[in-house]
Chains A and B, each alone.
Chain A
Amino acid sequence: MTVMQSIITILAVALGTMLTRFLPFVVFPDSKNPPQFITYLGTVFPYAVIGLLVAYSLKDFVGTGSHGIPEILAILFITAVHRWKKNMLLSISAGTVLYMFFVQAVF
């Protein structure tokens, strides 16, 4: 590829990505009230989409040799630490360190 072709490819990818981000806001601008069904989805989606993100972030771990055991253990550990201290940064770092220890030294 020439430099010009590379730039066009990068712009095409950027355009595709931005279209997915901007489209809902273009279809339902501030000035217009979205249909009731969309407003309803807007109130329930935040809860559901975080679950979707959890699955999305785990997708490449599923089906690896350790059958998801380190992932499940780390998630249980995060849940316990978070219940106990309610400190976001502590829960996240403790869980990640435990997970890294699992995959580097145990499993």
Chain B
Amino acid sequence: MKKKAFRAALPYTLPICVAFLFLGMSYGFLMRSKGFSFVYPMCMSLFIYAGSMEFVTVDLLLSAFHPFSAFLLALMVNARYLFYGIPMLKRYKNCGWKKVFLIFGMCDEVFSINCTVNPPEDVDKGWFMLFVTWLGQLYWVSGATLGALLGYVIHFDTKGIEFIMTALFWVMFLNQWEDKKGHLPALVGLGGSFLCLFIFGSQNFMLPAMVLIVLCFTALRGSMIPEVEQ
């Protein structure tokens, strides 16, 4: 059962593998270049496990000691995860002990797969989602650690590799688009997010975008529900 779930999960995680190894390595390399031992990126990627926040934490570690403001900053930078939990309430239901790991490792990329992919009928969904989650975390921690260990030795031009994340999300979007009943909510999400990105700028658009999406869904509740539950 586990083997089957692993085989089903692995191909979905390959783009994450490429992206996380490169991004993790650049993160590990950054920490080494600021004078931290490789133990730091290894532990931080394991315990914080939220890409952008780990980059921010590098600066926090180099400035004065303010643990409470570090805590608040993490809450704000990662507020989007509050949002992710809602569609996952049902999906992670009845997963028993796995649920703790599924929630702990719910980064953007893992979320985009666990939220949209329905594994084949004969594959255990809980194990499928757990393998997606664990593989994602394994790639990230390995990337960060390798980057810190090898960063000085290896250097190659990977400009633009970050785009693999956009490509992954966009393909997930296209897959969802096959499902006609989701067109309206998908357009609300895409349109509302880009609108807020242009109005509020890259640093501040996530919260307004989430508020706008919730407002649209509240206003369109009557017309959205029959569309989704057909």
Instruction: State in angstroms the CA–CA spacing of A38 and B87 once bound together.
Output: 9
Within A52-70, the residues touching B (CB, 8 Å) are 52-60, 62-63
B225, CB-defined interface residue at 8 Å: yes
Cβ-defined partner of A1 (8 Å) among B43, B65, B80: B65
CB atoms of A89 and B14 under 8 A apart: yes
B90, CB-defined interface residue at 8 Å: yes
How many interface residues does chain B have, given as a range?
A: 35 or more
- Chain B residues in contact with chain A, CB under 8 A? 11-12, 14-15, 40, 43-44, 47-50, 53, 57, 60-62, 65, 67-68, 70-75, 78-90, 92-94, 99, 103-104, 106, 108, 111-112, 115-116, 157-176, 182, 185-194, 196-198, 201-202, 205-206, 209-210, 213-214, 217, 221, 224-225, 228-229
- Chain A residues in contact with chain B, CB under 8 A? 1, 5-6, 8-25, 28, 30, 34, 38-60, 62-63, 71, 74-75, 78-79, 82-83, 88-89, 91-93, 95-96, 99-100, 102-104
21 chain-A/chain-B pairs, Cβ below 8 angstroms: A12-B71, A16-B70, A17-B53, A17-B78, A21-B104, A24-B88, A28-B89, A41-B87, A48-B185, A50-B173, A50-B186, A54-B173, A55-B197, A56-B206, A78-B170, A92-B15, A92-B164, A100-B161, A102-B160, A103-B159, A104-B157
Q: What is the number of contacts between chain A and chain B, taking CB atoms within 8 Å?
A: 268
Instruction: State in angstroms the CA–CA spacing of A60 and B162 once bound together.
Output: 10
CB atoms of A25 and B103 under 8 A apart: yes
CB atoms of A10 and B44 under 8 A apart: yes
Question: In the complex, how many angstroms separate the beta carbon of B30 from the nearest chain A beta carbon?
Answer: 15
Instruction: State in angstroms the CA–CA spacing of A64 and B11 once bound together.
Output: 33
8 additional A-B residue pairs with CB within 8 Å, beyond A10-B48, A51-B173: A9-B60, A30-B94, A51-B190, A53-B111, A53-B169, A62-B197, A96-B161, A102-B160
Question: In the complex, how many angstroms separate the beta carbon of B44 from the nearest chain A beta carbon?
Answer: 6
Cβ-defined partner of B70 (8 Å) among A13, A22, A42, A103: A13
Cβ-defined partner of A74 (8 Å) among B57, B165, B167, B229: B167
Instruction: State in angstroms the CA–CA spacing of A22 and B78 once bound together.
Output: 12
Q: B209 contacts which chain A residues (CB < 8 A)?
A: 52, 55
